[in-house]
């Protein structure tokens, strides 16, 4: 059975995007604007994967100049999201710019003081690199400055912090919801409950994808399935992708005690020296998380996204990861110790690569297949940058050396650190 899609105009290229999350919503709009007939294919419903299970934080504080520049582009895009997507007057903003605050403890508070002292030294060096890369707003703060700006933080325990006020967090349901609305206005089509089951090749190229709802033909194909990307690539005859699906958990802490709702709502995304993090979900809840050692689950099912193991559930007594995350945050922010407790647990999958940078480029076996995946927890924030990379790859082909950003195209980001065939070197340090 072939999907009953409107025929393209004579000479109009067809793009098939697999996976209906933030990446496809934003990429689809750009490709449709460039004249493609766009079809998005989704195994479940829109946003059913990582996009709806993300902390959706967004920052420009990364460890390499190219990623910093790409994230400056993403923040600027989200600042003007309602204009880009022609949203209705009065629609809510998708970006909340409460800032991003990385805390660094005094070295003597940790078992390896030298290592923690070195981390703070590297953090200050990164601030200089980030500023040289165009992120003028970022700064290294002394403990007294942290205490003055954020009185709920135990500033005397700090060596310092790095801070960027234009960072913050997203409302992901609005991003993909408005993105797909705009894509349909541009003539795009979203086919849901249509998992990919196979592929049709002609002349060494991908001609169509076979789905549970029929065959969908195209000229360009984009694998934007993130944690599912390796299995989708295999179904399409593509390369083995170095992407590892790893379970992660989010917790919701219920406000109580001395902090007011107004104070809580103004919290920046805050990361402790040991990597626990939190940001406001609303005036009465903090969303929190803390990465843990976890084995990759390459054969996970869709249903596994919502399965919470006992050790990580807030319902499992007091000796669990939820409570440990809460207590770790309270070490740096004592007022959080007064909270009423953890009210809910959510789960989903990171799609990790060996260096925590995404895979953005053409498949070496299938010349008209682009992979945009492996975001290592950064997919929502990197969405606008990813969409622009795919757009320029679609126009220029696999030999494209760099993507051009900025209103005048005056900012170049080398694509070598994101290509599928790169040598995986030192990992991105700024991963939580």
Buried b / exposed e across 374-407, counting CB within 10 Å, b at 16+?
bbbbbbbbbbbbbbbbbbbbbeeeeebeebebee
Task: Report whether 175 contacts 380 (CB < 8 A).
Answer: yes
Q: What is the pLDDT of residues 227-277, one digit of tens each?
A: 999 999 999 999 999 999 999 999 999 999 999 999 999 999 999 999 999
Q: What is the pLDDT of residues 187-232, one digit of tens each?
A: 999 999 999 999 999 999 999 999 999 999 999 999 999 999 999 9
Task: Report whether 297 contacts 352 (CB < 8 A).
Answer: no
Q: In this model, does residue 395 exceed pLDDT 80?
A: yes
pLDDT band at 3 (very low <50, low <70, confident <90, very high): low
Cβ neighbors of 406 (< 8 A, separation 6 or more) are 73
CA distances from 260 to 213, 263, 264 (A): 51, 5, 6
Structural domains of the chain, with CATH: 14-72+172-243+355-418 (3.50.50.60), 97-165+244-351 (3.30.9.10)
Q: Average pLDDT, stretch 397-414? A: 93
Give the C-alpha separation, 102 to 86, whole Å: 35
The H or E element containing residue 79 is helix 65-79
Is residue 81 classed exposed, middle or buried when 0-12, 13-18 and 19+ CB atoms within 10 A define those classes?
Answer: buried
Q: Average pLDDT, stretch 364-369? A: 98
Confidence at residue 181, expressed as pLDDT on a 0 to 100 scale = 98
Task: Report whether 166 contacts 74 (CB < 8 A).
Answer: no
What counts of helices (H) and strands (E) characterise the chain? 10, 22
Q: Average pLDDT, stretch 114-122? A: 91
Is residue 153 classed exposed, middle or buried when 0-12, 13-18 and 19+ CB atoms within 10 A define those classes?
Answer: buried
């Amino acid at each position: 059975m072939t999907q009953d899609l409107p025929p393209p105009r004579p000479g109009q290229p067809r793009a098939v995007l697999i996976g209906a999350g933030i990446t496809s919503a934003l990429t689809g709009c750009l490709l449709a604007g460039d004249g493609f007939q766009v079809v998005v294919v989704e195994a479940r419903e829109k946003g059913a994967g990582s996009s709806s299970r993300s902390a959706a934080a967004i920052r420009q504080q990364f460890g390499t100049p190219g990623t910093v520049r790409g994230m400056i582009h993403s923040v600027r895009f989200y600042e003007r999201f309602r204009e880009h997507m022609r949203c209705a007057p009065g629609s809510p903003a998708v970006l909340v710019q409460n800032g991003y605050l990385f805390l660094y403890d005094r070295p003597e508070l940790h078992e390896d003081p030298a290592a923690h002292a070195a981390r703070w030294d590297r953090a200050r060096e990164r601030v200089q690199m980030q500023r040289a890369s165009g992120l003028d707003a970022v700064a290294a703060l002394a403990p007294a400055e942290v205490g003055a700006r954020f009185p709920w933080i135990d500033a005397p325990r700090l060596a310092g912090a790095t801070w960027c006020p234009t960072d913050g967090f997203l409302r992901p349901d609005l991003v993909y919801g408005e993105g797909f609305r705009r894509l349909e206005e541009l003539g795009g089509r979203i086919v849901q409950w249509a998992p990919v089951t196979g592929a049709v090749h002609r002349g060494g190229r991908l001609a169509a994808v076979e789905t549970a709802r029929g065959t969908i033909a195209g000229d360009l194909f984009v694998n934007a399935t993130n944690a599912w990307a390796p299995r989708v690539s295999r179904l399409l005859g593509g390369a083995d992708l170095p992407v590892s699906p790893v379970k992660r958990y989010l917790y919701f802490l219920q406000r109580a005690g001395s902090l007011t709702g107004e104070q809580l709502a103004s919290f920046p995304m805050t990361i402790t020296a040991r990597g626990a993090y939190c940001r406001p979900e609303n005036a009465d809840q903090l969303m929190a998380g803390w990465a843990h050692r976890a084995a990759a689950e390459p054969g996970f099912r869709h249903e596994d996204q919502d399965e919470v193991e006992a050790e990580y559930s807030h319902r499992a007594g007091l000796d669990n990861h939820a409570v440990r995350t809460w207590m770790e945050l309270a070490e740096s922010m004592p007022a959080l110790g007064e909270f009423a407790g953890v009210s809910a647990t959510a789960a989903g999958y990171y799609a990790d690569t060996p260096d925590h940078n995404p895979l953005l480029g053409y498949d070496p076996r299938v010349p008209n297949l682009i992979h945009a995946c492996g975001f290592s927890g950064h997919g929502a924030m990197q969405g606008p940058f990813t969409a622009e990379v795919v757009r320029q790859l679609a126009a220029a082909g696999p030999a494209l050396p760099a993507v051009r950003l900025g209103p005048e195209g005056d900012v170049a980001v080398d694509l070598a650190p994101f290509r599928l065939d790169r040598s995986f070197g030192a990992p991105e340090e700024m991963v939580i």
